[in-house]
Amino acid sequence: MRDKTLKLVLTFYTTTAAMAMERLCADVHLPGRLIPVPREITAGCGMAWCAAPQDRQNLLNAAKSAGIQISGVYELML
């Protein structure tokens, strides 16, 4: 397993919103990637956006202006 570091994790209500977030971040050059939702957040399945904690506000602002609904914002060692 890779070494764990602090990550920002954004969760969504739908896969469609997660895909919209991936496309948005590519468009506005905010780094990150889609990961399975960590079990610390929920034991269910689904996708989450994993990014650097310092990009938190930029990501939230970008999501808000694009109308992407975020169901949760977390900082986790991943």
Partner 1 sequence: MIYLDNAATTMQKPDAVIDAAVLAMRSLANPGRGTNESALSAARAVYDARVRTAAFFGCTSAERVVFTCNSTEALNIAIQGIFKKDDHVITTDLEHNSVLRPLYLMEEQRGVSLSFVRSDANGNISYEDFDALMQPNTRAIVCTHASNVTGNVLDICKIGDIAKRHGVLFIVDASQSAGCLPIDMEACGIDVLCFTGHKSMMAPQGTGGLCIGEGVDIQPLKVGGTGVFSYSKNQPEQYPTRLEAGTLNSHGIAALACAIDYIERIGITAIHEKEMALMRTFYDGIANIEGVTVYGDFSTAIRTPIVTLNVRDLDSGAVSDELSVTYGIATRPGAHCAPRMHEALGTVSQGAVRFSFGWFNTQDEVVEAIKAIKEIALKS
The one among 5, 28, 36, 72 contacting partner 1 by CB under 8 A: 36
Q: Of 10 and 18, which has the nearer Cβ to partner 1? A: 18
CA 69 to chain CA centroid, Å, is 11
Please check whether residue 78 is in contact with residue 49, taking contact to mean a CB–CB distance below 8 angstroms. Answer: no
Q: Which residues pair with 36 in a beta bridge?
A: 47
Closest separation between CB of residue 47 and partner 1, Å?
6
Q: Which two structure tokens, joined as six digits, stand for 55?
A: 């990009």
Q: Of 34 and 62, which has the nearer Cβ to partner 1? A: 34
Which spans of this chain sit near partner 1 (rule: CB under 8 A)?
A: 12-20, 22-23, 34-36, 42-47, 67, 69
